[in-house]
Structure 1
Amino acid sequence: MTSTGFGCCLADDMGLGKTIEIIAFLLARLKTGKKGGVSLILCPTSVISNWEHEFKKFAPSLKVQVHHGLSRTRNNAFISDVLKYNIVLTSYALLHRDIEFLSTVKWDGVIADEAQYVKNYSTKQSKAIRSLASNFRIALTGTPIENRLEDLRSIFEFINPGYLGSEKRFRKLFSNPIEKEGDEDATRALNRLVNPIILRRVKTDRKIISDLPEKDETKVFVPLTQEQASLYDATVTAMLESVEEKEGIERKGIILSAITKLKRLLDHPSLVSGDLDRRFNRSQKLVRLMEMLEEILGAKEKTLIFTQYVEAGKIIKETILKRFREEAMFLNGSTSRVMREQMVSRFQSPEGPRIFVISVKAGGFGINLTAATNVIHFDRWWNPSVEDQATDRAYRIGQSKQVHVYKFARLEPLRRRLTR
């Protein structure tokens, strides 16, 4: 595909080895003499270390520069040094900051890992990546469509600018008919356009991978403490009264704010009240988590616990230490790249910590944590595909044991409360 001048999207299911496939592609490109310079790989900060590790393991002959941190080279120094390397690794966060000199390089290839990071067409990093000149472009993502079809068009504007038409035309021909009307003709027409450009394989296809063990998913239903129930009803009642007087975007804002507050409340009342009382028995969800961990630790198994709230992660970590005298590592958005790498290495070691608490947006992608056989989603993300990505930190190539996935849920959902 790249030899014809077309960009492409590798959309294999999470955990099927997109990183290794790209490394193999780059090695083959060099061996066949198709070298036009240095290739740039863009990825979230949290997975730079994983890319660096995989290059050292599978392609030690390639010279890799990690363009990251305060000591990174800039401007003319970068431009004069870059041709010494085969690969430059950097993050989306740095791309638009350093675009002035990164855009002066004629790259052989630009590869966007976790390409959903450029799903919003008008963001600074999306504009920056489209401004880079290169011989080929490849997007890597297990979720080419996270929320809406516009996500797909934005990725295609990076790999093949103009291929899916203007934003207005795309919305008229595809987005509106498919999303609003379920138009099958429009769906088929879009598939005909994108299928030659996208390669997608899934773990459930035994022709692709035959030795991956099973994965089971269980919903864990928990009641509320008396305190939680009282605060929950008060929040819902206040929200219902407020929305009666509002309309449009303001009404939606009130509902969204209330749902977010309820989600935090179900994790622990202190996340809403702001008090310092972090006793675990104030939250039935936390009580149930401790019960599950007691059994899991007794079986000498390792566990990933995902949460979207940093404060919830801190409470979980503190409670585990108090209850079991067991270390629980906690990875979140403020964790440095070096510390992330150390945490992953320790967890993967048989002698390392058995519990890893992770902020779903900071560590829910791009890292391998196959030492875990249990994955617990302590609270639920808005988009199921994000949860799936997080689960696939453990359920991926290299996993030799059955993976148990647990998703916490309330006994009585909000929607039932609203229909009374």
Structure 2
Amino acid sequence: MPPPLQPPRRAAGASDWKAAVAALSGGLTADAPAPDTVADSPEARTTMGLLFELREQTPRSADRWRGATAVRASATRPRAGAYRLGVRPVLRSDSGKWVKSTITWSNVGYQLNRLNLNVEQHRWFCQFVPLHRVDRPVYNGQDTEWLYLDEFESPLLWHLLAEAVRLGIGLAGSHKDAQVTVGTTATVQLDAALTSTALTLSPVLTIDGRAHPVGDAGSIGAHGVYTYALGANPAIVLAPSAAPLSAEQRTLLGSAGPSGLVVPAGEVDEFLRGYYPTLRRGVPVTSTDASIEFPPPPPPVLVHTVSFEPKQAVRLDWQWQGDRDEEAETELLGRVADAVPGLPAPADPDAPTVTLTGLPAAEYTDKSLPRLGEVAGLRVDLVGAKPDYRELTATPQLIVTTVETEKRDWFDLGVLVKIDGRSIPFDPIFRALAKGRKKLLLVDNSYLSLTQPVFDRLRDLIDEARALQEWETGLRINRHQASLWSDFEDLADETEQAVSWRAAVGGLLRLERADTEAAGEADAADAAALPGATPLPAGLNATLRPYQVAGFEWLAFLWDHGLGGILADDMGLGKTLQTLALLSHAVQQSAGPQTGSSVSAGSLPHGPFLIVAPTSVVSNWLTEAARFTPNLRVGSVSSTQATSGRPLAEQAEGLDVLVTSYALFRLDAPAYQAHGWAGLILDEAQFVKNRTSQLHRAARDLDVPFKLAVTGTPMENNLLELWALFSIVAPGLFPSARRFTEEYLRPAERKVRSQGELIERLRRRIRPLMLRRTKDVVARDLPAKQEQVLRVELDPRHREIYDTFLQRERQKLLGLMEDLEANRFIVFRSITLLRMLSLDASLVDDEYADVPSSKLDALIEQLDEVVAEGHRALIFSQFTSYLALAAARLEKRGIRYSYLDGGTTDRPAVIDEFKTGDAPVFLISLKAGGFGLNLTEADYVFLLDPWWNPASESQAIDRTHRIGQTKNVMVYRLVAADTIEEKVMALKDSKAKLVQAVLDDDAVFAQSLTADDIRGLLEP
């Protein structure tokens, strides 16, 4: 390495050029004190200026300890200290001169009103001091009048100076007639000239192409330079540098020595080989006269040091050797990335050392290092003994045993895994699976993949099992996990099973067979609800339709046998009334032969019934109960125990029915679990369809003798949602989500010949425990419902914007389809953007506010006729921002409307306003209006944006097409032509087959939204 050198101060001759070059390469920087702060202030009028002055520093000494720390530089006075470029605020006097007045950097923030300053200019000065202080210590010095640009570390200075010109802030010099100029670009470099006797390296400073002496110059931070001229024609020129200045470049500025470095002709080769590569990294070196050709830099070498440490740890270091070359380094890094994608550390010497432990260390050593050793330009150095990491690849074998414990709900599990002749306890495998790990490292440095099919099944089982901390005393299975042991049994090569858990679900299977045999060819649910089988409860204040009587009898059958089920009647057929009839029957039955007008307190042996419903529907249950079953004592919970200060048991005391919301049920799950209940009713039970959610687990784990799910949409997207509901109301009917998928979904995907048999088997298993009737079968007296799709052409400007966004999103998303689950959030965000753009371009960006919305034009055109003829309409959209645009158009048209979305605070009042008022239009968000509404006052429905979930649209339409409607219902779907909305319509039709296949007919059923579905949505 060349020796460290000092900046040149005298001519560099043949004997000392090496030291001079080294000094130039070593470059030093100096710290400088930071200025004081300023504050902000309001408007004024006096013009302000920025005064520039070259100031000579006068540092303290033993015999000079007071007085100024710097004085104005002078051409007539010998220079005794370093020069720095100072600036301070000044004001323009009435005579047009710049005067210091009393304004300084320390008080400028307080002078706005007193000195009648220009507001914008004053604000500029208040910004100057904080920006000057960036990355500098804050302290108060004696020289408070001046700030030094030499210390200005922020390159935003140049933006400030440009802004000063715009604001009319004068840039003045303190010398008479001094000129202050701000240039555009400055460069600092060495110019090489080779003669027959020597190589001369001369420092060159240029500003906007004009050369300036480097001796009369200084640096402004690392981002700019200034030059000065004293004497008869004083001038100051400053400009930003073309690139950040190195320490070596800054050393060249202000040098008082001769103009160049001289390398004797005989030593030029030595300079080029040993010193030039180091020098050029700090200072650009050129040859304007082309008298010398510099050698190309050697290619860089990337050294990768791998240190093997105790406890299965590997430390990784990266370091470049040789001359740095961005293009060559980028190419080498590309080869490294191709060899080992996703390196655990960036190949940069400034990057921190990375230490891998455990499995990542093993995989890196076993898989990555051999590939890295083959990369040209990369050197791998190993430190320490390399462990013998190796992967076990044989197919695992499982041995499973169970032993009953003294606790009724628990079984001990013993699981042993054998791979390549090694016995591996299940506990470390279980913990790795529970934490979502893909591989497992063992103590003997071997490791195995957990992504094999057998472990995939175990991972599914663990998703159903209790949290990891529940297993701290050993591996156990809870009886509430409906068939977890059965799934272990399916996976195991050897088992020794406990059979007591089977008794908990065996009765369900026997009952299914008994019901089917008793019914013969008839539907088992109908056989369970024979006319007259169970009398209606006394005090029921309603006249039930025949299908509602049959529904009540079926519910009573489940209650009497201690079975759970799903009441899945179509929307608008009175599921709430049938459920209230059951509750009244159960309360009266528990009270004995008494059938009077009231039921004694505490008549239900297990406590009151618990109804869990969406927050917006809780009040509806209270209203309907008071109307149809006044004999029931019904109460509700409006807040958590912590908020109300009342224990749940106290709130439920003396009631027959307690109604709460899903949110409160989830938040106070332990309290609900601790209280005794006669049964659990889940209204709008699609809220618990997600089998991995806390809400689902709370409903599933609630220990009650009877559970009923009430929903018109037991399945919205895929069959696993139906499985999730049955796992709550009838645990054990289906053994596990994994087996359910294997037995039904995957064969359907493969389109096997036995698909029809699979569907029939599924319907046969759910038949006794789910009752579903559709309006077209049991409510034929309902008026007709006509549906029509209105295809809307986009405005040309709207079309151009949509097509541009579509192409951009297609390019972004199609590469993410291979791993849809990992990228689902990004994919759906882009799809949502395209759906919003199909509606109105301004929903995506306000700059498109003037782009016409063809769909709103079509809506208003339809509404004009609807309103004129005295009809009333419901308008649905999933986007509240679009509903706001529709509301604005209605207001402009003079059409009165009501409005409901998820943020509506008084939902009942808004609904009543529409039902009892005369506003012809009701704007409703699809989420807020999907359930709990009876709006038969309207007979027109407009769906502004389609969705691929047919159940959501059906629920919206059935707000008006339900029992009590006397008019024909007209449904219009507004679809933007040649957009993603048409793709959504096609996809929605295919998804509708899923519900029809299992619940209504034998059509082919599909899975949830797939990568192919999304690719179809993005087709142009």
Q: Give the TM-score taking structure 1 as reference length.
A: 0.92
Aligned to 1:328: 897
Distance in 1 between residues matched to 2:763 and 2:640, nearest whole Å: 44
> Does the CA-based 8 Å contact 1:239-1:254 persist in structure 2?
no
344, 359, 372: which one pairs with 2:925? Answer: 359
Distance in 1 between residues matched to 2:643 and 2:653, nearest whole Å: 13
693, 707, 722: which one pairs with 1:137? Answer: 707
* 1:291 and 2:861 aligned: yes
> Does the CA-based 8 Å contact 1:236-1:258 persist in structure 2?
no
> Does the CA-based 8 Å contact 1:307-1:378 persist in structure 2?
yes
Distance in 1 between residues matched to 2:714 and 2:944, nearest whole Å: 26
* 1:125 and 2:695 aligned: yes
The structural deviation recorded for 1:244 is 5.6
The structural deviation recorded for 1:131 is 2.1
> Does the CA-based 8 Å contact 2:564-2:707 persist in structure 1?
yes
SS at 2:959 equivalent: coil
* 1:195 and 2:770 aligned: no
Aligned residues: 412
The structural deviation recorded for 1:178 is 3.0
Unaligned runs of 5+ in 1: none
> Does the CA-based 8 Å contact 1:74-1:101 persist in structure 2?
no
The structural deviation recorded for 1:89 is 1.1
SS at 1:220 equivalent: strand
Distance 1:417 1:146, change over 3 A: closer
Distance 1:267 1:71, change over 3 A: farther
Distance in 1 between residues matched to 2:653 and 2:798, nearest whole Å: 60
> Does the CA-based 8 Å contact 1:105-1:133 persist in structure 2?
no
Deviations 1:233-254 (A, max 9, x none): 1011112333465552367766
Distance 1:306 1:28, change over 3 A: same
Aligned to 1:345: 912
SS at 2:876 equivalent: strand
Distance in 1 between residues matched to 2:652 and 2:814, nearest whole Å: 60
Aligned to 2:976: 410
Q: CA RMSD in A?
A: 2.3
Aligned to 1:236: 806
> Does the CA-based 8 Å contact 1:67-1:73 persist in structure 2?
no
Matches within 5 A, 1:12-411: 12-33=569-590, 35-36=604-605, 37-69=607-639, 77-181=647-751, 183-205=755-777, 208-243=778-813, 245-249=815-819, 256-275=828-847, 277=849, 282-324=852-894, 326-336=895-905, 339-349=906-916, 351-411=917-977
Distance in 2 between residues matched to 1:317 and 1:310, nearest whole Å: 10
The structural deviation recorded for 1:403 is 0.5
The structural deviation recorded for 1:73 is 7.3
> Does the CA-based 8 Å contact 2:689-2:722 persist in structure 1?
yes
Distance 1:76 1:179, change over 3 A: farther
Deviations 1:253-277 (A, max 9, x none): 6654433212111222111013594
Distance in 2 between residues matched to 1:71 and 1:286, nearest whole Å: 47
Deviates more, 1:93-102 or 1:182-191: 182-191
> Does the CA-based 8 Å contact 2:640-2:664 persist in structure 1?
no
Distance in 2 between residues matched to 1:405 and 1:110, nearest whole Å: 36
> Does the CA-based 8 Å contact 2:873-2:921 persist in structure 1?
yes
AA partner of residue 938 (structure 2): A
> Does the CA-based 8 Å contact 1:217-1:406 persist in structure 2?
yes
SS at 2:775 equivalent: coil
Flag the structure with more relative contact order, 1 or 2, with Cα contacts below 8 A and sequence separation at least 6. Answer: 1
AA partner of residue 261 (structure 1): L
Deviations 1:84-143 (A, max 9, x none): 211111111111101121111111110001111111111011011112222211001111
Aligned to 2:560: 3
> Does the CA-based 8 Å contact 1:62-1:87 persist in structure 2?
yes
Distance in 2 between residues matched to 1:66 and 1:318, nearest whole Å: 38
Distance in 2 between residues matched to 1:143 and 1:98, nearest whole Å: 26
SS at 2:971 equivalent: strand
Distance in 1 between residues matched to 2:939 and 2:623, nearest whole Å: 23
SS at 1:188 equivalent: helix
Distance in 2 between residues matched to 1:109 and 1:103, nearest whole Å: 12
Identity across the alignment (%):
34
Distance 1:52 1:276, change over 3 A: farther
The structural deviation recorded for 1:170 is 1.3
Distance 1:26 1:246, change over 3 A: closer
Distance in 1 between residues matched to 2:651 and 2:582, nearest whole Å: 24
Distance in 1 between residues matched to 2:641 and 2:868, nearest whole Å: 45
Distance 1:263 1:98, change over 3 A: same
AA partner of residue 902 (structure 2): G
The structural deviation recorded for 1:59 is 1.6
Deviates more, 1:91-100 or 1:70-79: 70-79
Distance 1:296 1:193, change over 3 A: same
AA partner of residue 772 (structure 2): R
Distance in 2 between residues matched to 1:419 and 1:78, nearest whole Å: 54
Distance in 1 between residues matched to 2:689 and 2:1019, nearest whole Å: 35
Deviations 1:173-225 (A, max 9, x none): 122223553622221111111011111100011xx223211000010111101
Distance in 2 between residues matched to 1:215 and 1:98, nearest whole Å: 43
Distance in 2 between residues matched to 1:246 and 1:73, nearest whole Å: 45
> Does the CA-based 8 Å contact 1:219-1:408 persist in structure 2?
yes
The structural deviation recorded for 1:78 is 2.3
Distance 1:176 1:61, change over 3 A: same
Distance in 2 between residues matched to 1:235 and 1:253, nearest whole Å: 18
SS at 2:970 equivalent: strand
Deviations 1:282-332 (A, max 9, x none): 2100011111111111111111111001111111122211212x3322211
SS at 2:874 equivalent: strand
SS at 1:189 equivalent: helix
Q: Give the TM-score taking structure 2 as reference length.
A: 0.39
Unaligned runs of 5+ in 2: 1-557, 592-603, 984-1015
SS at 1:305 equivalent: strand
Distance 1:157 1:392, change over 3 A: same
AA partner of residue 410 (structure 1): A
SS at 1:112 equivalent: strand
SS at 2:975 equivalent: strand
> Does the CA-based 8 Å contact 2:610-2:657 persist in structure 1?
yes
The structural deviation recorded for 1:418 is 6.4
SS at 1:134 equivalent: coil
